[in-house]
């Protein structure tokens, strides 16, 4: 099996061979930073042009996180979004706060209300054993939140905002395509109700994009860019710049998810874990700030539709909306997201629902 791997700049194609589950480079210029990393990196890699279903399902089971190559997104969109967002982030704070909706500005926490306002600022959003540690900490991050289906409502004459809107819309279309094909492949053996499989478990209209900036920050300050958490989504797709800082928890160890050019990182969220009845994992991850450089990343999040009922022998039936409301109540009341524990049939937390 071979991978076509497009590499910037200039846009060239290189072929990588998969042998014994490892990528072997066949030919690439020595100066091409990144390809060596791809060969030695421990994180599973999925080729979007030729999805190996077993490999994908194994990555979902044992990591809940993997990289994709050959995703077909023009690199110019990625660099353009990062550049435009960087310009927007460099505006004065008051100007960013005035952004309003549907492209809203937030800082200090990634937990937002459905209308895009920061929720429980300073309370963190850790899970499980890390929840206490997350409490009362501001996350060292600022961001722009863009619900994709509402972007056409953004009426603006500002050239920066209208360029960003067009890029995000194009980016969102690619994200929907990638999420849908990965989801259908991964969920193939999951015994979902056939009619739900197509539409409701992944509803593209729920997709939103976030652009984050993690300001550089001295080690002396004990803030994280983003505290330990799992995503509430079905799937999350991350595009990071070359700074690094994302880490995933695997077998009790934090593994850096190093930036490798042209690759995207997919992580499974709580909804994927629930609909797979815990066969797949919602990845536990965090982001550390870099000491010297600001970091920009772009996240896409997609969720089940309003009509999808999530159920399995480990969970009482629930809809995503109930999950989202519960997360918001928990963050307000106890300072962190309790998450799937609330919906488990045998969990102590599930009795405290209301």
| Shortest separation between residue 123's beta carbon and ligand AKG, angstroms | 16
What is the C-alpha to C-alpha distance for residues 14 and 3, in angstroms, rounded to an integer? 8
Residue 276 touches which member of ligand AKG, Fe ion, none, C-beta under 5-8 Å by kind = none
Residue 337 touches which member of Fe ion, ligand AKG, none, C-beta under 5-8 Å by kind = none
If the CB atoms of residues 71 and 210 are measured against Fe ion, the closer one turns out to be 210
If the CB atoms of residues 16 and 240 are measured against ligand AKG, the closer one turns out to be 240
Contacts for 258 with CB less than 8 Å, ≥ 6 apart: 37, 41, 244
Angle at 350 between CA 345 and CA 352, to 5 degrees: 155
Residue 110 touches which member of Fe ion, ligand AKG, none, C-beta under 5-8 Å by kind = ligand AKG
304's tokens: 């089940």
Residue 297 touches which member of ligand AKG, Fe ion, none, C-beta under 5-8 Å by kind = ligand AKG
If the CB atoms of residues 212 and 343 are measured against ligand AKG, the closer one turns out to be 212
273's tokens: 């874990």
How many residues contact Fe ion, by CB under 5 A? 1
**Helices assigned H by DSSP within the chain:** 35-40, 53-62, 75-89, 93-97, 131-134, 159-186, 194-198, 270-275, 320-333
Decide if 349 contacts 338 (C-beta within 8 A).
yes
| Shortest separation between residue 90's beta carbon and ligand AKG, angstroms | 19
| Shortest separation between residue 318's beta carbon and ligand AKG, angstroms | 21
Q: Which residues pair with 7 in a beta bridge?
A: 12
- The maximal CA–CA distance of the chain, rounded, in angstroms, is 60
| Shortest separation between residue 299's beta carbon and ligand AKG, angstroms | 4
If the CB atoms of residues 16 and 239 are measured against ligand AKG, the closer one turns out to be 239
Q: Which residues pair with 156 in a beta bridge?
A: none
If the CB atoms of residues 41 and 231 are measured against Fe ion, the closer one turns out to be 231
Residues that bind ligand AKG (CB under 6 A): 110, 210, 212, 226, 231, 238, 240, 246, 285, 287, 297, 299
Q: Which residue is nearest to ligand AKG (CB)?
A: 297
| Shortest separation between residue 104's beta carbon and Fe ion, angstroms | 18
How many CB atoms within 10 Å of residue 179?
A: 22
If the CB atoms of residues 70 and 282 are measured against Fe ion, the closer one turns out to be 282
| Shortest separation between residue 229's beta carbon and Fe ion, angstroms | 6
What is the C-alpha to C-alpha distance for residues 343 and 3, in angstroms, rounded to an integer? 41
| Shortest separation between residue 328's beta carbon and ligand AKG, angstroms | 16
Looking at residues 179 to 238 of the shown chain, list those that interact with Fe ion (rule: CB under 5 A): 231
| Shortest separation between residue 194's beta carbon and ligand AKG, angstroms | 31
Residue 232 touches which member of ligand AKG, Fe ion, none, C-beta under 5-8 Å by kind = none
- Please give the C-alpha separations between residue 296 and each of 89, 96, 191, 239, in angstroms, as whole numbers: 10, 16, 38, 9
Residue 240 touches which member of ligand AKG, Fe ion, none, C-beta under 5-8 Å by kind = ligand AKG
If the CB atoms of residues 196 and 274 are measured against ligand AKG, the closer one turns out to be 274
Q: What is the C-alpha R_g of the chain? A: 20
DSSP string, 125-140: ---GGGHHHHTT---S
Q: Starting from the edge strand earliest in sequence, which strands make up the sheet with 65-69, in order?
A: 45-47, 65-69, 264-268, 235-240, 295-303, 203-214, 142-147, 104-107
If the CB atoms of residues 16 and 144 are measured against ligand AKG, the closer one turns out to be 144
Angle at 98 between CA 95 and CA 103, to 5 degrees: 110
Residue 246 touches which member of ligand AKG, Fe ion, none, C-beta under 5-8 Å by kind = ligand AKG
Q: For 288, which DSSP code?
A: P
Q: Which residue is nearest to Fe ion (CB)?
A: 231
| Shortest separation between residue 7's beta carbon and ligand AKG, angstroms | 21
- Binding region for Fe ion (CB under 5 A): 231
């Amino acid at each position: 099996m071979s991978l076509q791997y497009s590499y910037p700049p200039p846009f060239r194609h290189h072929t990588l061979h998969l042998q014994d589950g490892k990528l072997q480079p066949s030919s690439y210029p020595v100066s091409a930073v990144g390809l060596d990393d791809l060969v030695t990196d421990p994180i599973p890699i999925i080729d979007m042009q030729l999805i190996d279903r077993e490999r994908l399902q194994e990555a979902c089971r044992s990591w809940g996180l993997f990289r994709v190559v050959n995703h077909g997104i023009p690199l110019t969109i990625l660099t353009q979004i990062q550049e435009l967002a960087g310009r927007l982030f460099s505006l004065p704070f008051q100007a960013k706060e005035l952004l309003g909706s549907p492209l809203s500005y937030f800082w200090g926490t990634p937990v937002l209300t459905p209308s895009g306002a920061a929720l429980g600022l300073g309370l963190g959003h850790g899970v499980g054993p890390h929840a206490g540690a997350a409490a009362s900490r501001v996350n060292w991050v600022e961001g722009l939140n863009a619900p994709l289906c509402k972007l056409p409502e953004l009426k603006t004459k500002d050239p920066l905002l209208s360029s960003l809107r067009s890029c995000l819309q194009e980016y969102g279309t690619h994200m929907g395509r990638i999420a849908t094909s990965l989801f259908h492949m991964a969920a193939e053996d999951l015994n979902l109700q056939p009619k739900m499989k197509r539409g409701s478990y992944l509803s593209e209209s729920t997709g939103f994009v976030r652009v984050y900036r993690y300001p550089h920050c001295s080690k002396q300050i004990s803030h994280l860019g983003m505290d330990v958490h799992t995503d509430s989504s079905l799937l999350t797709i991350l595009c990071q710049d070359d700074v690094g800082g994302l880490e995933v928890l695997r077998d009790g160890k934090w593994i850096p998810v190093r930036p490798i050019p042209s690759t995207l990182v997919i992580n499974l969220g709580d909804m994927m874990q629930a609909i797979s009845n815990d066969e797949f994992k919602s990845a536990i991850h965090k982001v550390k700030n870099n000491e010297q450089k600001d970091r920009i990343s772009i996240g896409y999040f997609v969720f089940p539709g309003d009509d999808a009922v999530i159920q399995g022998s480990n969970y009482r039936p629930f809809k995503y909306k109930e999950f989202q409301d519960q997360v918001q109540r928990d963050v307000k009341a106890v300072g962190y997201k309790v998450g799937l524990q609330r919906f488990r049939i045998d969990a102590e937390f599930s009795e405290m629902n209301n």
